[in-house]
Structure 1
Amino acid sequence: MKPIIHLKSITDINNFSQCTTKHPLVAVFDFSKADEFNEGDVRISADFYSMIFKNYCANTIRYGRQSLDFQEGSLVCIGPKQLITLDNEKDNEKEKEMKGWGLFFHPDLLYGTSLGSKIQDYSFFSYAMAEALHLSQKEEQTLSDCVKMLEIELNENIDHHSQTLLVSTIELLLNYCSRYHDRQFITRKRSNSKIIVQLEALLKAHFHTTESAASSLPTVTSLAEGVHLSPSYLSDLLKKETGMNAQDFIHYHLIEVAKNRLLTHDAAVGEIAYSLGFEYPQYFSRLFKQKTGQTPLEFRNKS
């Protein structure tokens, strides 16, 4: 296995791809003009944000065990420190059709800006490759226009307006991406409904035992793995479909199970807490009161 190439700066990625550095914190690549990476299988991590759109890519990109070949016109967004792999599958015939763009920007660019304080809200930077955004031609054009605006600004001399203009344009692009991700959740509503049914079945199976303590509480990560999604994507999906994020979704079902056990079992509150997977009963009592306004004993005695 080849060692990981760690890219610390925008200059590093420009050197890696043999492109000229126009700004130390931002780079835009036009893949119709740039040479494809010819390194064979390459593993890369970076200290900056990456957004890559391609209608054709001579490299298959893998994130973890998921792969995406971009042939449908997909946008993938990758946050800092995430590991991706480029599998070189060069095809000279298809290479002529290659087009798209890459936007790379370092977190340092965002310091002291409004975008810097809310960049974590753009959760699609934590999505898995298989959850990439599939763009319509109109959406593709809108994002490409934003990238062209960035290219124009990068060709200007750097002055005290540069950061404001670059950051505001990147924020505009990210807001469009948020809109298009929301659209994708809507168009996938039927499949999303099936996922929610699967999630409810997983939680029901987890809490099914009433005779012995559950091994642990269900987590967002374990639930996401159960339906083959990333935790961030799952949480956003649930927020769109139910109004609850993944953690709230788990808590809702946990409290419903707890209510049933409090009313149908004579076991002490501590025993019920252990059976649900709580290591410490006081944590259960605290969560129960937070969600219902009553302690477990108050709920049992009033019902």
Structure 2
Amino acid sequence: MKPIIHLKSISEINRFVQNKTQHPLVSVIDFSTADEYLEEGTRLSADFYTIMFKNYCSNHMKYGRQSVDFQDGSLICIAPKQLITLDNDIEKKENMMGWGLFFHPDLLRGTSLGNKMGDYSFFSYETSEALHLSEKEKQILYDCIQKIETELQENIDSHSQNLIVTNIELLLNYCSRYYGRQFITRKSSSSNTLSQVENVLKDYFRSDKLKETGLPTVKYLADQVHLSASYLSDLLKKETGMNAQDHIHYYLIEEAKNILLNTDCSVGEIAYSLGFEYPQYFSKLFKQKTGQTPVEYRNFN
């Protein structure tokens, strides 16, 4: 296995592809002019955010644990410290088209965007859920990139950071819109995932796993349907109005209701049987979800 190439700064990614550094914290790279040849199996990680768009049919890369089909007209967003593995043969330079935007978290410190980065959950997508863009969407994102690139070519002054960050935020907001559109256009696939989630949770609560391993986590649920935790939560939220944790809690509360009405077990015994280490946490969640304490629910029903 090849060693990981870890890029700590924007200047390092620029040196890596022989691109000129115009700003210490942000860079736009035209893939058609990138001179670095990367071998199959090359593993990369970085201390900065990466947004890459490739406008040609290409190979696969491994992002996180699974393979990403980096198709014609697709875009991926990668958070700092994530691992990318180039999985197949690399495109010849003459066939390469597309762009990459790379920006360090330090660029965002003290800005409103810095406080909002956690809202862009697509940076946590780890699997094959790249964003596939229409021609119109490609052009809109490219217009944002061109504005950033134009600003990078200017001399750095007191307005530079604000203008660059503003255009990055605009691009990210468009990405949010387009991912929302993609959830809708993939509705049949999303419905299938929803059915899988429901079956996984039903099987989990019917089995002995609650006693053996406790409550299912969002990560467990996501692993069962081969998605990242963030993507699964966003998909479920779009489909049902409830994220992955909400779905887990729904099945938990339904199971709790059944036990409360069909057994004489104490609230503490029920809490332990449902995987809670402390009964008061169970009672608090039950009241939050139903408006009643477990005892009140049992007495009124």
TM (normalized to structure 1)?
0.94
- Number of corresponding residues: 301
- Counterpart residue number, 1:228: 226
RMSD (Å) for aligned C-alpha atoms:
1.9
Question: SS state of the match for residue 207, structure 1?
Answer: helix
Return closer, same or farther for 1:198/1:212 CA change in 2, 3 Å cut-off. Answer: closer
Q: Distance in 1 between matches of 2:267 and 2:255?
A: 13
Q: Distance in 2 between matches of 1:90 and 1:99?
A: 13
Give unpaired runs (5+ residues) of structure 1: none
Q: Contact (CA 8 Å) 2:204, 2:210: kept in 1 or not?
A: no
Q: Contact (CA 8 Å) 1:31, 1:101: kept in 2 or not?
A: yes
Whether 1:34 aligns to 2:34 is yes
> How far off is 1:97 after superposition?
3.0
- Counterpart residue number, 2:3: 3
Structure 2 matches for 1:125-164, cutoff 5 A?
Answer: 125-164=123-162
> How far off is 1:213 after superposition?
3.1
Return closer, same or farther for 1:268/1:209 CA change in 2, 3 Å cut-off. Answer: farther
> How far off is 1:105 after superposition?
0.4
Q: Which amino acid aligns with 1:6?
A: H
Q: Contact (CA 8 Å) 2:62, 2:84: kept in 1 or not?
A: yes
Q: Which amino acid aligns with 1:233?
A: Y
Structure 2 matches for 1:32-111, cutoff 5 A?
Answer: 32-56=32-56, 60-87=60-87, 89-92=89-92, 95-111=93-109
> How far off is 1:273 after superposition?
1.6
Give unpaired runs (5+ residues) of structure 2: none
Q: Contact (CA 8 Å) 2:120, 2:176: kept in 1 or not?
A: yes
Question: SS state of the match for residue 96, structure 1?
Answer: helix
> How far off is 1:88 after superposition?
5.7
Q: Which amino acid aligns with 1:207?
A: F
Whether 1:115 aligns to 2:113 is yes
> How far off is 1:243 after superposition?
1.1
- Counterpart residue number, 1:18: 18
> Quick check: 57-66 or 13-22, which moved more?
57-66
Question: SS state of the match for residue 5, structure 2?
Answer: strand
> How far off is 1:257 after superposition?
1.4
Q: Which amino acid aligns with 1:127?
A: Y
State the identity as a percent.
68
TM (normalized to structure 2)?
0.94
Q: Which amino acid aligns with 2:19?
A: C
- Counterpart residue number, 1:285: 283
> How far off is 1:70 after superposition?
2.4
Q: Distance in 2 between matches of 1:41 and 1:235?
A: 30
- Counterpart residue number, 1:179: 177
Question: SS state of the match for residue 33, structure 2?
Answer: coil
Q: Contact (CA 8 Å) 1:63, 1:129: kept in 2 or not?
A: yes
Q: Contact (CA 8 Å) 1:76, 1:129: kept in 2 or not?
A: no
Q: Which amino acid aligns with 1:265?
A: T
Q: Distance in 1 between matches of 2:200 and 2:259?
A: 18
Whether 1:240 aligns to 2:229 is no
Q: Contact (CA 8 Å) 2:59, 2:87: kept in 1 or not?
A: yes
Return closer, same or farther for 1:210/1:20 CA change in 2, 3 Å cut-off. Answer: closer
> How far off is 1:244 after superposition?
1.3
